A and B are shown apart, each in its own frame.
Chain A
Amino acid sequence: MTDIRAVRTDLSRIRRRGPLARFGEAVLRNLANLKVLLRYPSAIVGLTLMTVFILVAIFAPLIAPYGPFEVTYTAERAVIRLSAPSMNNLFGTTNQGMDVFSQLVWGSRVALMVGLLSALGSVLLGTLIGLFSGYFGGWIDEVLMRATDVAFGIPFLPFAMVVISIAQPSLGLVILLVIFFLWRTTARVIRSQVLSLKTRPFVWAAKAAGAGHMKILFLHIAPNVLPLSFLYVAIGVQTGVMLEAALSFLGFGDPHVQSWGIMLNAAFQAGAMRTAWWWVLPPGLALSAFVLSVFMITRAYEELLNPRLRSI
């Protein structure tokens, strides 16, 4: 008797929580599972590097001696142009007398923001499209997948350059464009996963128990594709930062923020590759280190999800 009562109260507790809360729990459970990543040495290196970047971004105002566009002067009020690294300017200055080290520090904020927003946005969009497309099939699938085909047919960098030069360059637009570019892969991958998931017995069981489409989709299928979505968040951070840097380097970045790509563009335009290595190397190396750290985390996570890769 007591047993049955216990089960009953348990059941009612489950029912009382709303579907949204239950979906949220699935997300948290998957996040908690990421602890396993710490068993991979490459993930530890990547996470350590990423922590450094995050700390630098958070404490940027304390670390950076100057503002991102602040011109530095000597005691005689002369602009310090193209000075090599010194005690005053750790990584030297640009041709306009701005402090390279400070720009680098401020740039980490832009990189993190672009990476996170574009990754989350694209994965949210891609996952939703993949879920609906795969689960409902029929004309919904047809429409969504043809849209994906069109998105795949557009070469990203050229397209983004045209859009930016028609509109005004801004960081928000760059992030939107990156999202527009990234969702397509996530959508296709999630869709094929859903196609296989929806034939599994637990979905029949849910249907037999009288669950509606939305309930099946978000409570039974979505939690199972979450690990894949997380993987694409990581890949998205990497690609997003790279694409922003590439666009900025080509001169299509937001002129009001100081990102690593914009620093590289300014250095390239000023011919610093000949004269001022201290201006070129820091943003390039920071970008490479950032991308590499995400990549190491991604790689470990991929191995976790797909043991067949685990041969290195």
Chain B
Amino acid sequence: MQGFRRYVIRRLMLLVFVIWCILTIMFGLFQLLPGDPTSIFIDSNFSPDMIERQKELWGLNDPIWLQYLRYIRNMALFDFGQSFFQIAPVSEIMADKVKNTALMIVPALVISIVLGTVIGAIAGWRRGSKFEQSTVATSLFLHSAPSFFVGILVLMVFSYQLRWLPPGGMVSLGGPDGFWEMIVARDYWVHLILPGLVLVSREITGPILLLRSSMLEVKGSDFLDILRAKGLPERQIVTHATRNALLPLVTYIAVMTGLLFQGQVLLEIIFAWPGIGRELVQALNDLDYPVAQAALYVMALVTLALNFIADLLYGVIDPRVTYE
């Protein structure tokens, strides 16, 4: 346990260090912007006097090290300032968009993991069968297909040609608002079908392939023979085997969520889903830099946090891992 505690502390320090590095890189990047924020934000009617006052207000006349320290403090406290174009604090916008992104990712993830586990376990158990071969081939194919083109394809077929499903957005105009109202509304689920399907088609391949290979390993272990000798029915033996094969999946889920967050940008653009990725693209097009950097920062934080959790879980779940 001593070793584990030391490991957690070390890992936590590393996390803080990486976040600090990323923040510094971001600070440098946004310093490279041509001109300063006032040139984007302030229209030409402002007198030089007013511009000067605005600069003073934003602390743009302070020495660079002071600006840097202030920047780090604000970011650490999630104080992202005001959006240039939307009349709201950036932190509020972020909270809203992260929620919307989660509304797409979480259902898709749950389906991918549950369904992927079952399919992968069966495939691994029936090694060499037609089912296993076709599952593996399909998964590899889906895994390497460019998912944004898959998204465009399903949109063309199901929304524009067949007109079965809405072509984008999270709810219809004037549809349900608010978190709880929405997740019980049929409207939201209908909008989720297409992007959800595309997400699942890619994300499900991970659990399938992982569970198949870990099942192959568990399948040869002695404890299954003992269960057989006890006279357990085959179905229960599969359950026992699956529980053991699940170990690597737990850490994989965290890593998967982190990666998923990145590809999310494309799906949100294609399906006009008002999530954080789409917000970032829009902010960059509008030169709304406070929003853009907050979005980048939040995405990096989520990725890092999930990786951190994955690392910790790895040790907690598998007692064979030591921290010497």
Chain A interfacial positions (CB closer than 8 Å to B): 146, 149-150, 152-159, 161-163, 165-167, 238, 242, 245-246, 249-251, 264, 268, 273-274, 277, 280, 284, 287-288, 291-292, 295, 299, 311-312
| Chain B stretch 146-186: residues in CB contact (< 8 A) with chain A | 146, 148-149, 152-153, 155-156, 160
Q: Which stretch, B60-68, B191-199, B278-286, touches the partner chain A?
A: B278-286
Among A155, A274, A311, A312, chain B packs the most CB atoms within 10 A around the CB of A155
Interface-lining segment among B16-24, B47-55, B239-247? B16-24
Encoded as 1 (CB less than 8 Å from any A CB) or 0, chain B from 235 to 273 comes to: 000000000000000000000000001110110011000
Q: Would A273 and B295 be within 8 Å (CB), given that A152-B307, A157-B263, A158-B262 are in contact? A: no
State the CA gap A153–B20 with chains docked (Å).
11
Say which one of B83-91, B109-117, B296-304, B315-323 lies at the interface with A: B296-304
- Beyond A150-B21, A158-B265, A165-B284, list 20 extra A-B contacts (CB 8 Å): A150-B22, A152-B307, A153-B300, A153-B303, A155-B296, A156-B262, A157-B262, A158-B262, A162-B29, A166-B32, A246-B146, A246-B148, A251-B281, A273-B152, A284-B149, A288-B149, A299-B140, A311-B127, A312-B133, A312-B136
List, in ascending order, chain A residues with CB within 8 A of B261's CB.
155
B98 within 8 A of A: no
Return the chain A residue nearest B32 by Cβ: A166
Q: Which residues of B contact A152 (CB under 8 A)?
A: 307
Find out whether the CB atom of B149 lies under 8 angstroms from the CB atom of A273: no
A277, B156: Cβ atoms under 8 Å? yes
Partner of A158, one of B140, B160, B277: B277
Q: Which 9 A-B pairs have the closest CB atoms?
A: A284-B149, A295-B144, A165-B284, A150-B21, A153-B18, A155-B299, A155-B262, A153-B304, A158-B296
Partner of A249, one of B127, B266, B293: B266
Instruction: Tell me the bound Cα distance from A249 to B150 in angstroms.
Output: 13
Contact of B144 among A146, A159, A238 (CB under 8 A): A238
CA distance A311 to B128 in the complex (A): 8
Main DSSP-derived SS at the A contact region: helix
Question: Given known contacts A153-B19, A166-B29, A249-B266, is B149 in contact with A287 (CB within 8 Å)?
Answer: yes
Chain A residues whose C-beta falls within 8 Å of the C-beta of B146 in the assembled complex: 242, 245-246, 284, 287-288, 291
| A249: B residues at CB distance < 8 A | 148, 266, 269
- Given contacts A161-B280, A312-B137, A292 and B155 within 8 Å (CB-CB): no
**Partner pick for B156 among A163, A245, A280, CB 8 A cutoff:** A280
B152 and A162 within 8 A (CB): no
Which residues of B sit under 8 angstroms from A291, Cβ to Cβ? 144-146
Partner of A284, one of B30, B152, B285, B296: B152
Bound form: Cα–Cα A150–B23 in Å: 11
17 contacts between A and B (CB under 8 A): A150-B18, A150-B21, A154-B22, A155-B261, A156-B262, A157-B262, A162-B292, A166-B32, A238-B144, A246-B148, A250-B269, A264-B149, A273-B155, A274-B160, A287-B149, A295-B144, A312-B133
Q: Which residue of A lies closest to B258 (CB)?
A: A155
A156 CB contacts on chain B under 8 angstroms: 262
Binding site for A on B (CB under 8 A): 14, 17-19, 21-22, 25-26, 29-30, 32-33, 127-128, 133, 136-137, 140-141, 144-146, 148-149, 152-153, 155-156, 160, 216, 261-263, 265-266, 269-270, 277, 280-281, 284-285, 292-293, 295-296, 299-300, 303-304, 307
* Contact partners of A288 in chain B: CB under 8 A: 145-146, 149
Q: By CB atoms of chain A within 10 A, which of B148, B266, B296 has the most?
A: B148
CB-CB nearest in chain B for A159 = B296
Known contacts A162-B296, A273-B156; is A292 also within 8 Å of B145 by CB? yes
Residues of A close to B263: CB separation below 8 A: 157
B152 lies within 8 A of A264 (CB): yes
Q: Within the complex, what minimum Cβ distance (angstroms) separates B256 from chain A?
A: 14
**In the complex, A260→B74 CA distance in Å?**
41
| Residues of chain B contacted by A163 (CB below 8 angstroms) | 29
User: Would you call A161 and B281 a contact (CB within 8 A)?
Assistant: yes
CB distance from A119 to the nearest CB of B (A): 15
Nearest-neighbour CB distance to chain A for B195, whole angstroms, equals 15
**Which residue in chain A gives the minimum CB-CB distance to B280?**
A158
Q: How far is the CA of A249 from the CA of B17 in the complex (A)?
A: 34
Complex contacts, B137 vs chain A, CB 8 Å: 312
Residues of chain A with a CB closer than 8 A to B141's CB:
292
How far is B216's CA from A238's CA once the two chains are assembled, in angstroms? 29
For the complex formed, measure the closest distance between the CB of A282 and the CB atoms of chain B, giving whole angstroms. 11
What distance in Å separates the Cβ of A169 from its nearest Cβ neighbour in chain B?
11
A273 / chain B contacts, CB cutoff of 8 Å:
152, 155-156, 160
Q: Please indicate the chain B residues that have their CB under 8 angstroms from the CB of A149 in the complex.
A: 14, 18
The reply to whether B281 and A250 form a contact with Cβ atoms under 8 Å apart is: yes
Determine the chain A residues whose CB is within 8 A of the CB of B149 once the complex forms: 264, 284, 287-288
CA distance A251 to B270 in the complex (A): 12
A156 to B21, alpha carbons, bound, how many Å? 15
Closest residue of chain A to B287, judged by CB? A165
Compute how far the CA of A288 lies from the CA of B296 in the bound complex, rounded to whole angstroms: 28
